[in-house]
Amino acid sequence: MEKDRLRSGFWISAQVRLCDQAFIPVAVLHKGDPDAGAILLKLNRLAAGCEVLTQVRNIDGTPAWMRGTGETLVNEEDADAYIDRQRGRDPDLWVLEIEDPDRRYDLDGEII
């Protein structure tokens, strides 16, 4: 049974607030559908590279994340190119970038 879903815009707002409270730089790069837009999370590790995660649901309906750019970090240009391709396919997509070289940001689900 699928668990209740948060509206995408609400989830984004909550993450921005959490990052602000923890002094983690965050930016909404693209606003999508406020109710049900898919979410991409760009975790910018600065000099180490970036990873782009897509919000998904696991088999029991709980929030999870899938790596869109692979297992290893990629340079920012490759991360942005991936995001641009996804935005071309889905104009209702949300994109949130978090600068987190120290890995202080906590995901709200597992990476599958």
Q: Report domain extents, the chain.
A: 8-111
What confidence category does residue 53 fall into, taking pLDDT thresholds of 50, 70 and 90? Answer: very high
Kindly report the CATH number that applies to the domain delimited by 8-111: 3.40.1530.20
Confidence category of residue 4, pLDDT binned at 50, 70, 90: low
Taking alpha carbons only, the member of 65, 80, 89 closest to residue 29 is 80
**Rounded to two decimals, what is the model's pTM?**
0.91
Cβ atoms 19, 107 nearer than 8 A: no
Per the listing, tokens 């948060």 go with 6
Q: In what order do the strands lie in the sheet with 26-30?
A: 26-30, 94-99, 39-44, 50-57, 63-67, 110-111
